[in-house]
């Protein structure tokens, strides 16, 4: 993350904002327009639109591990960039990976640059390997890099808390524990997005996140969208690419017997503001399962 971007909030700052907050329509469709000459922006599928007004956020909820959802998000990013607005792109990726992503966005995208990006620990998780490490996610980041290289202002943020952010870490104050009851990860991500959107009120804000974080009132604790709408009412729209059949790379099963791999996948988009029928899904494998050249070939198309 460059010095021109606002710093991420540490928990003490998040608590202060949460206390301050406590005190204190259906969308149209457009067709993606290629931004300049970026080949990765090619596509004719309808993309969702950003809500009107400052600090607006478009939240795309996905079933992790498909080829199509990050590609649809990339097309949406292209459409937003084509309006000549600055764009803040938020990803459900561990916060420490932000530095590697920022370096890649400012690079020429060579094999060495790609290898440096993929050397970050985010792409080599210990334990479960879900769709957030997929080749399709790398393609989305490559699209952002290509747009920036053409002169578009694209900022990228990794907003998922890492282990040091969670309550219980020696570095975290006890006052932060109320966020556990509200769904720590969702509250943490919402406050990161809100801080950036507030710092750049005229920019477009786009977030790709797991679908259950992007629904309203459907989880025991407030979801990401529930929290964000409390922070900035009437500025959030949710979207989903409905993939009614097919496969995805995902982790499923009971907590003590979760397996990751190619799984049957399907979603209908129920509960989202904007829905496009994407047909059948195709699993996108994790980058660790492929060679660098195979990843390069896949993100180029």
pLDDT digits (tens, 9 = 90+) for 23-41: 332 233 333 334 444 678 9
Residue carrying structure tokens 């002169």: 151
- Mean pLDDT, rounded, for 186-191: 94
**Pairing between strand 46-48 and 154-160?**
unpaired
pLDDT in tens, 67-99: 999 999 999 999 999 998 899 999 999 999 999
Residue 215 domain-assigned (yes or no) = yes
- Mean pLDDT, rounded, for 191-209: 96
User: Global pTM?
Assistant: 0.85
Residue 139 domain-assigned (yes or no) = yes
Sequence-separated (6 or more) residues with CB below 8 Å from residue 194: 17, 55, 228, 231, 232
The most confident of the ranges 119-128, 261-270, 279-288 is: 279-288
How far apart are alpha carbons 165 and 169 in whole angstroms? 7
Residue numbers of the domain that contains 139? 55-246+275-299
Residue 90 domain-assigned (yes or no) = yes
Q: By C-alpha distance, which of 20, 8, 22 is closest to 192? A: 8
**CATH number, domain with residue 93:** 3.40.50
Residue 203 domain-assigned (yes or no) = yes
pLDDT at position 13: 55
Number of domains into which the chain is organized: 1
Using the predicted structure, report yes or no on whether residue 20 has a pLDDT greater than 80.
Answer: no
CB 133 within 8 A of CB 122: yes
Residue 33 domain-assigned (yes or no) = no
What are the backbone dihedrals phi and psi of residue 88, each rounded to the nearest 5 degrees, phi first? -100, 120
Residue 229 domain-assigned (yes or no) = yes
Cβ neighbours of 103 (radius 10 Å): 15
Residue 45 domain-assigned (yes or no) = no
Residue 24 domain-assigned (yes or no) = no
Structure confidence at residue 227 as a pLDDT band (50, 70, 90): very high
How far apart are alpha carbons 205 and 77 in whole angstroms? 9
């Amino acid at each position: 993350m460059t010095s021109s971007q606002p710093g991420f909030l540490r928990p003490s700052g998040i608590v202060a904002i949460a206390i301050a907050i406590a005190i204190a329509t259906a969308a149209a469709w457009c067709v993606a327009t290629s931004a300049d000459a970026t080949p990765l922006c090619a596509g004719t599928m309808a993309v969702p639109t950003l809500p009107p007004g400052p600090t607006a956020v478009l939240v795309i909820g996905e079933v992790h591990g498909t080829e199509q959802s990050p590609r649809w998000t990339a097309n949406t990013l292209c459409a937003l960039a084509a309006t000549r607005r600055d764009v803040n792109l938020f990803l459900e990726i561990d916060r420490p990976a932000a530095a590697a992503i920022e370096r890649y966005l400012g690079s020429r995208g060579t094999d060495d640059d790609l290898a440096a990006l993929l050397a970050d620990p985010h792409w080599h998780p210990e334990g479960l390997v879900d769709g957030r490490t997929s080749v399709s996610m790398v393609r989305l980041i490559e699209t952002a890099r290509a747009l920036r290289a053409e002169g578009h202002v694209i900022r990228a943020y990794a907003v998922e808390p890492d282990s040091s952010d969670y309550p219980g870490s020696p570095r975290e104050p006890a006052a932060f524990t109320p966020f556990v009851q509200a769904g720590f990860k969702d509250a943490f991500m919402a406050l990161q997005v809100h801080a950036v959107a507030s710092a750049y009120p005229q920019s477009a804000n786009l977030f790709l996140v797991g679908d259950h974080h992007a629904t309203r009132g459907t989880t025991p604790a407030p979801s990401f969208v529930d929290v964000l709408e409390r922070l900035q009412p009437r500025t959030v729209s949710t979207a989903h690419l409905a993939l009614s059949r097919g496969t995805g790379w995902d982790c499923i099963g009971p907590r003590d017997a979760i397996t990751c791999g190619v799984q049957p996948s399907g979603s209908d988009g129920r509960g989202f503001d904007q829905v496009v029928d994407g047909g059948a899904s195709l699993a996108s494998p994790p980058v660790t399962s492929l060679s660098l050249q195979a990843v390069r070939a896949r993100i180029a198309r």
